[in-house]
Amino acid sequence: MTSKERVRKVLEHKIPDEVPWGEFAIDYDTVEKILGHETYLRAKAKSQVAFWEGRRDEVAESWREDIIELYKKLDFMDIINLDAMCTGLLPPKDYKPEKPKKLDENTWEFEDGRIYKHSFITGDITLVQDPQKWTREFKLEDFNPEEEPELPDPSQFEVIDAVIEVFKDEKFILGPSGKEASFFLFTGMERGLIEYIMHPEIVKHALKTAVNKANKLDKYYIREGQDGILWGTDFASNKGPFISPKMFREFCLPAIKSRVKNVKNLGMKVMKHACGNNTELMDMFIEAEYDAYQSIQESSGLNLKWLKENYGDKITLWGGVNVENLVSGTPEDIRKDVKKAMEILKPESGYIFGTSHTIAVGTKYDNFMMMI
Burial label for 241, CB within 10 Å (0-12, 13-18, 19+), is buried
CA distance 364 to 11: 31
State residue 120's pLDDT score. 81
Percent of the chain with pLDDT over 70: 100
Burial label for 147, CB within 10 Å (0-12, 13-18, 19+), is exposed
| Other beta carbons less than 10 A from residue 150's beta carbon | 8
Three-state SS for 330? coil
Q: Please, which residues have CB within 8 angstroms of residue 312's CB and are 6 or more apart in sequence?
A: 345, 348, 350, 351
Q: Which residues of 175-207 are buried (b: 16+ CB within 10 A; e: fewer)?
A: bbbbbbbbbbbbbeeebbeebbeebeebbbbbb
Mean pLDDT across the stretch 282-300? 95
pTM of the model: 0.95
SS3 content of the chain, % helix, strand, coil (to 5): 45, 15, 40
Residues paired with 269 in a beta bridge: 228
Q: Residue 121: pLDDT band by 50, 70, 90 thresholds?
A: confident
Please state whether beta strands 351-355 and 316-321 pair in parallel, antiparallel, or not at all (unpaired): parallel
Three-state SS for 352? strand
Residue 297 pLDDT greater than 90, yes or no: no
Cα angle 156, 159, 161; round to 5:
90
Q: Measure CA of the first residue to CA of the last residue in the chain; give whole Å.
A: 20
22-32 per-position pLDDT tens digit: 999 999 999 99
State residue 240's pLDDT score. 95
233-270 per-position pLDDT tens digit: 999 999 999 999 999 999 999 999 999 999 999 999 99
32-81 per-position pLDDT tens digit: 999 999 999 999 999 999 999 999 999 999 999 999 999 999 999 999 99
Burial label for 350, CB within 10 Å (0-12, 13-18, 19+), is buried
Element (H, E) at 245: helix 245-247
Q: Are 139 and 202 in contact (CB under 8 A)?
A: yes
CA distance 227 to 335: 31
Q: Are 52 and 46 in contact (CB under 8 A)?
A: no
Residue 194 pLDDT greater than 90, yes or no: yes
96-114 per-position pLDDT tens digit: 999 999 999 999 999 999 9
CA-to-CA dists, residue 7 to 18, 239, 313, angstroms: 10, 31, 16
Cα radius of gyration rounded to whole Å, the chain: 20
Positive or negative CA dihedral for 328, 292, 66, 370? positive
Q: Residue 216: pLDDT band by 50, 70, 90 thresholds?
A: very high
Residues paired with 79 in a beta bridge: 172
CA distance 320 to 96: 42
State residue 119's pLDDT score. 85
339-370 per-position pLDDT tens digit: 999 999 999 999 999 999 999 999 999 999 99
Q: Are 252 and 281 in contact (CB under 8 A)?
A: no
Q: Are 297 and 337 in contact (CB under 8 A)?
A: no
CA distance 318 to 350: 9
